[in-house]
Amino acid sequence: MSTQSRDFRGVIRPVGVVVLGIGVMLALCALVAMAWDEVAPDLNRPQGGSQELGLSAAIVLVLGGFLFGYGRRFVSDRISRREALLAVSLIWIAAGACGAVPFILGASMSPVDSFFESVSGLTTTGATVVTDIETRLSRPLLLWRSLIQWLGGMGIVVLFVAVFPNLGAGGKHLFRGEVPGTTAEGLRPRIAETSFALWKLYAALTVLEIILLKFLGLDLFDSVCHAFTTLSTGGFSTLDSSVGGFNRPAVEYVIGAFMLIGSVNYGLYYGLIRTGHWRGLVRNIEFRAYVAIVVTSVIFLTILNLDVHDELLTSFRYSFFMVATTISSTGYGTDDYSVYSSTALAIVLLMMFVGGCSGSTAGGIKIERAVLMGKQAIAQVQKSFRPSAVQLVRMGKVSIKTQVLADVASFFLIYMGCIAFGILFVTLVDGVPVPTAFGTMLTCLSNMGPAPFHQGPDNFAAYSAGSKLFFVLAMLLGRLEFFTLFALFLPGVWRR
Amino acid sequence: MNIVVIGLGEVGRHLLSVLDKEGHDIVAVDSSSQAVQYAEEHYDVASIVGYGASEKLLKVSGAARADLVVAVTNHDEMNLVAALGAKQLGAKHVVARVQGTAWSEWTEGLRYGVLGVDVVINPRVLVAQELSRIARSYGASDVVDLAQDRVELVQIDLEESRALNKPLSSVELPPHTLVSAVVRDGDLFVPGGADVLVKGDRVYLIGRPEGVLAAERMFSKEREARRICIVGGGVVGKALARELLQQEATVMMIESDLATAEEISAEFQGIQVVHGDGTDGALLEEEEVGTYDLFAAVTRADEINLMAALLAQRAGCKRTATIVQRADYTSIYRQLGIDIVLSPRTVASDQILRFSRGGGLHSLTVLEDGQAEVVELTASARCRAVNKPLHRMNLPRGSLLAAIVHGDDVIIPRGKDVVQPGDRVILMTTKEARATVERLFRPRGE
């Protein structure tokens, strides 16, 4: 057999288009920020930044134009599965790199730090290397930081597919590279319309939250930034002390609610709007499991946290927000879980593992997978004493194919394998204790943000460049749910 | 447009590929999960595995809201029931394909409104009708009747003749005809007066039937086929024999199954039926196939058709025709020297695709694998193209107004001719020009 390598130059153009898109976003962001500073300046924050943003836009646009122009020669008729995997991976890495440029220029951060910050934003992780947000980042940069999180939340590839409807079946392959599983598909027969519908919903919910936050008395700038990072379940804040810094219960409840809304399968909302029936939403097994987990966790945490917050209502306020921010993998903070009791901390850790619903912007293993694994485990145990019984794993009325179950099982294995490898890597390179290394891997893979068991201030500034790049990889793996990126490491993708 | 395609065989897949490119919302249904998987992988469509005629499936697939439901599984009855069910649920147009002998009488190839289904198509009978028209022509390799037989579109592969190697403007074509498209090295273009036809080109002539016949005489040495040999006594073979007998041609049929052969002999008087294998070279020699004007291999097996046609060629038959189920094979057959290659799949999908366009097309003929198409429609009073002379109509490059049917009158238009509301027009467009032409003829505000 010959081992000729495949021609993958067909992916240059889509990557170029996305880079151009990021450039346009940068330019828009620069213009808006400039106008904002002009009309309603905020003297409490660092000034400037929009010029640097504009310069970044120019650099990124030139780069994108070059890629697009070069790639135009290698346009393939139809994007194959292999090309789609590569394209999605490259798009995310390129978008991360482009998103980093303003941080290098505008906040004099090192390239590695900027790349970390940018990827952390795009993957909606929300982990930061900036120790002094309020004194280092000007408003244009903060806006950009929130905007990339918003873009990454519903997915840049999904946006790409929505904007370029003529990709045919190739669009479907791209979509699957970014949103694995089939749950979000099939809203509309055509993938471009599905993507567009998802983005419209997402944007509408964001606008709604901006209005609510503004109505509750937040500054418009803070409302916009926080709405961007709430629905994307990202977690970047404009304050060093995160949402806790506002110290307003109403704001916390609204943001908490929207985090919970953002971690439900968007397909269910679409069904609700289209049919007008609540049935599809309420009968959905994953949604029910999600609600059950949220409600029980809130109750347990509220009771357990009475040790920390003496009053019931206060305990409920902080516990509700903690549950919302953790299960949605957002990572805003109003409360310090390091002082929680061990049981309460364990609940928080478990929620971080599980994450939100499939087809949402949340990270983690996803509730659907957790439910399937549980049902599969029960079925297997039953097989031990009744081997010839037909045991179908069902999700509602639909029986799940063994192929899908195998998929879920391998997902879980890869997830655990990544955590194990990550602990080895981080303890070796940075010499931190095992729980700390575990916390960082968990937070990166589930796109959460803050790391449990952290020593010192809860950010990633102190890690070495090698570890930071490793975390970047972990965040991308978590966001793209492993298969897309890992496939590129198999030789079969590259060889003929 | 919302379209449901039930049955993902050859025709189903072909429809998906075309409809997907045209940008419709498609739901594909098949009982085989492999077929569905294939569709899922290759086309941007939603898909469902299931029995296409079941009420539940029709509901789930959204047939009730569909503009077009197409049933093209391999089971005729299932297609009819699925189409009926979809119609009852509220689908706007339903189309069913049938192919068996039992149903061919119901349909005569193509029938509207029969059994409660909008259109029932029997592509095999349609192919036979097309073959019989080709047999009647002077050397055409395809003949399509348009505007209720008042206009004819023919495909001719050019051999050496006086009309070649000079600008088209100096070629004296018979009245009421025109060369609408030329295919050279696989690429189709709409010729202008300065273009020169050369040997090996394939041209599409359009015009009144008598004019087209005269034009065929100019371009081809072949004459009408009077003696025809058919291999295969299936639906196509029988339908072809029936048509040819009406044209008073001499027909010989070779059929390998004795019972079928006897049955055909009993049904058709005036046909010489031979019991034997169409791919048996000795038999073909013995029956002097070389003396026949046209050899048509129309069994259900592509391989047998091809081999029989090649053997007939070797035995001295000048014109050979085959049908081919797998339309991908068409170009290979042509390369091997088969003169006429027809595919029931293409015939069926042409009939179906016109419903996906809206705007009430009377017919749609796809040329050269979708490089161009000929459409026939009634010009509405509210479209941009009516009531102005052709030269002010702004037809885009790569398109041609080939004929205007005004009442009983067929006009092959020149610059000053005008399309009046209610006229039936025949347009040829390349795929690049299609959108612009559609805009011109779409009623305003639709």
Length of chain B: 446
Q: Inspect the interface and report whether the beta carbons of A168 and B20 lie closer than 8 Å.
A: yes
Output b/e per residue, A149-169; b: 16+ Cβ within 10 A.
bbbbbbbbbbbbbbeebebbb
pLDDT at B364: 85
Nearest-angstrom CA–CA distance, B50 and B52: 6
- Nearest chain A residue to B48 by CA distance is A186
Mean pLDDT of A114-122: 94
Spatial distance between the Cα atoms of A105 and A52, rounded to a whole number of angstroms: 6
B214–chain A nearest CA distance, Å: 43
Map chain B to HEC letters.
CEEEEECCCHHHHHHHHHHHHHCCEEEEEECCHHHHHHHHHHCCCEEEECCCCCHHHHHHCCHHHCCEEEECCCCHHHHHHHHHHHHHHCCCEEEEECCCHHHHHHHCCEEECHHHCCEEECHHHHHHHHHHHHHHCCCCCEEEEECCCCEEEEEEECCCCCCCCCEHHHCCCCCCEEEEEEEECCEEECCCCCCECCCCCEEEEEECHHHHHHHHHHHCCCCCCCEEEEECCCHHHHHHHHHHHHCCCEEEEEECCHHHHHHHHHHCCCEEEEECCCCCHHHHHHCCHHHCCEEEECCCCHHHHHHHHHHHHHCCCCEEEEECCCHHHHHHHHHCCCCEEECHHHHHHHHHHHHHCCCCEEEEEEEHHHCEEEEEEECCCCECCCCCEHHHCCCCCCEEEEEEEECCEEECCCCCCECCCCCEEEEEEECCCHHHHHHHHCECCC
Residue A184: predicted pLDDT: 46
Chain position carrying tokens 């029960």: A378
pLDDT in tens, chain B (446 residues): 889 999 998 889 888 988 888 888 899 999 988 888 888 888 888 888 888 888 888 888 888 888 899 999 989 889 989 999 998 888 888 989 888 777 766 667 677 767 778 888 888 888 898 898 888 888 888 888 888 888 989 888 888 887 788 888 888 888 888 888 999 988 888 888 888 888 888 899 998 888 888 888 888 877 788 899 999 988 899 989 988 988 888 999 999 999 999 999 998 888 899 999 988 888 888 888 888 999 999 998 999 999 999 999 988 888 899 999 887 788 888 888 898 998 888 888 888 888 887 666 788 888 887 888 898 888 888 888 888 888 888 888 888 888 898 888 888 888 788 888 888 899 999 988 888 888 888 877 66
Q: How many pairs of residues across A and B have Cβ atoms under 8 Å apart? A: 33
Average pLDDT over residues A485-491: 87
Residues of chain B with Cβ-Cβ distance to A167 below 8 Å are 44
Could you say which of B21, B27, B42 has the minimum Cβ distance to residue A189?
A: B27
pLDDT, residue B358, reads: 67
Residues 6+ apart with CB under 8 A from A29: A53, A57, A140, A143, A144, A147
Contacts 24+ apart (CB under 8 A), B209-213: B209/B149, B209/B150, B209/B151, B209/B152, B210/B176, B211/B174, B211/B175, B211/B176, B211/B177, B211/B412, B212/B152, B212/B154, B212/B174, B212/B177, B213/B137, B213/B138
Which helix (H) or strand (E) element contains residue A169?
A: helix A169-178
**Mean per-residue pLDDT for A161-167?**
75
B interface test, pick of A79, A82, A175, A190 with most B CB neighbours within 10 Å:
A190
Residue A354 to residue A166: CA distance in whole angstroms: 36
* Average of per-residue pLDDT across A76-104: 88
- State yes or no: pLDDT of A185 exceeds 70: no
Q: Which residues fall within 8 angstroms of residue A52, CB to CB, at 6 or more apart?
A: A102, A105, A106, A140, A141
For residue B218, which of B295, B264, B156 has the smallest C-alpha distance? Answer: B156
- Chain B within 8 Å of A165 (Cβ-Cβ)? yes
Residue B199 near chain A (CB below 8 Å):
no
Interface contact A193, partner B, CB < 8 A: yes
Distances (CA, A) of B222 to A411, B134, B425: 68, 11, 31
B20 touches chain A (CB under 8 A): yes
Which residues in A lie closer than 8 A to residue B45 (C-beta atoms)?
Answer: 189-190
Q: Is the Cβ of A186 closer than 8 Å to some Cβ of chain B?
A: yes
Q: With contact defined as beta carbons under 8 Å apart, do B156 and B140 qualify?
A: yes
pLDDT given at position A99: 93
User: pLDDT tens for residues A1-50?
Assistant: 445 677 788 888 889 999 999 999 999 999 999 998 888 888 888 888 88
Chain B contact for A176, CB < 8 A? no
**Could you count the other beta carbons within 10 Å of the beta carbon of residue B374?**
25
Query: Scanning every residue of chain A, which has its alpha carbon at the shortest distance from the alpha carbon of B26?
Result: A189
Query: Tell me, what's the pLDDT at B446?
Result: 61
Report the residue from A165, A167, A189 with minimal CB separation from B45. Answer: A189
Phi-psi category of residue A493: left, alpha or beta, with phi > 0 → left and psi -120 to 50 → alpha? alpha
Q: Is B42 on the interface with A (CB under 8 A)?
A: yes
Q: pLDDT exceeding 70 applies to what percent of chain A?
A: 96
Task: Enumerate the residues of chain B whose CB falls inside 8 A of the CB of residue A193.
Answer: 25
What is the b/e burial string over B391-411, where b = at least 16 CB atoms within 10 angstroms of the residue's CB?
Answer: eebebeebbbbbbbbbeeebb
Taking an 8 Å cut-off on Cβ atoms, the answer to whether A168 and B26 are in contact is no
Closest CA to B184 of B371, B391, B408, B373: B371
Q: Work out the minimum CA distance from A185 to partner chain B, whole angstroms.
A: 9
Cβ-Cβ contacts under 8 Å, A188 against chain B: 25, 46
Contacts of B27 in chain A (CB under 8 A): 189
Helical (H) or strand (E) element with A378: helix A367-385
Comparison of pLDDT for A100 and A178, the residue scoring more: A100
Q: According to the model, what pLDDT value does residue A97 have?
A: 94
What does the pLDDT look like over A269-303, one tens digit per residue?
A: 888 888 888 887 888 888 999 999 999 999 999 99
Contact across the interface for A168 and B25, Cβ inside 8 Å = no
Instruction: Pick the residue from chain B with its C-alpha nearest to A186.
Output: B46
Token pair for A489? 């490491």
Under a CB-based contact definition with an 8 Å cutoff, are residues A167 and A174 in contact?
yes
Q: Using the beta-carbon criterion (under 8 Å), do B43 and A188 form an inter-chain contact?
A: no
- Per-residue DSSP letter, A452: T
Cross-strand bridge partners of residue B71:
B6, B96
Closest chain A CA to residue B4: A189
C-beta atoms of A191 and B21 within 8 A: no
The answer to whether the CB atoms of A189 and B43 lie below 8 A apart is no
Residue A160, both tokens: 């790409």
Residue A2 pLDDT: 46
B45 CB within 8 Å of a chain A CB: yes
Burial of A133 (0-12, 13-18, 19+ CB in 10 A): buried
pLDDT at A401: 83
pLDDT for residue A178 is more than 80: no
**Angle, alpha carbons B306-B307-B310 (nearest 5°):** 85
Nearest to B193 by CA among B213, B209, B177, B170: B170
Q: Write down the pLDDT at residue A77.
A: 66
Among chain B residues, the shortest Cα distance to A187 is held by B46
Residue contact A188–B25, C-beta within 8 A: yes
Amino acid A288: pLDDT: 92
CA distance B104 to B125: 7
pLDDT of A255 = 94
pLDDT of residue B107: 64
Tens of pLDDT, residues A377-423? 998 898 888 888 887 888 877 788 888 888 899 999 999 999 999 99
A496, A5 contact by CB (below 8 A): yes
Determine contact: A190 vs chain B, CB below 8 A: yes
Please list every residue in chain B whose beta carbon sits closer than 8 Å to the beta carbon of residue A186.
Answer: 46
- Strand ranges for A315-419 from DSSP E: 394-395, 398-399
CB nearest A191 (choices: B2, B21, B44): B44
Inform me whether the pLDDT recorded for A183 exceeds 60.
no
Q: What pLDDT is attached to residue A1?
A: 40
Segment (H or E) for A88 = helix A81-106
A418 CB near a chain B CB, below 8 Å? Answer: no
Task: Give the Cα separation of A319 and A341 in Å (integer).
Answer: 13
Q: Which residue of A has its CA nearest to B3?
A: A189
Res. A181 pLDDT band, cuts 50 70 90: low
How many whole angstroms separate alpha carbon A421 and alpha carbon A438? 10
Chain A, window 135-164: residues with a beta carbon less than 8 angstroms from a chain B beta carbon: none
Contact B43 A186 (CB under 8 A): no
Facing residue for A169 by CB, picked from B25, B27, B44: B44
Give the separation between CA A351 and CA A105, rounded to whole angstroms: 37
Kindly determine whether residue A189 and residue B25, on different chains, have CB atoms separated by under 8 Å. yes
Q: What is the pLDDT of residues A301-356, one digit of tens each?
A: 999 999 888 889 999 999 999 999 999 999 898 888 888 899 999 999 999 989 88
pLDDT number for residue A344: 92
User: How far does A186 lie from chain B, in Å, by closest CA?
Assistant: 6
Strands B46-49 and B399-406: unpaired
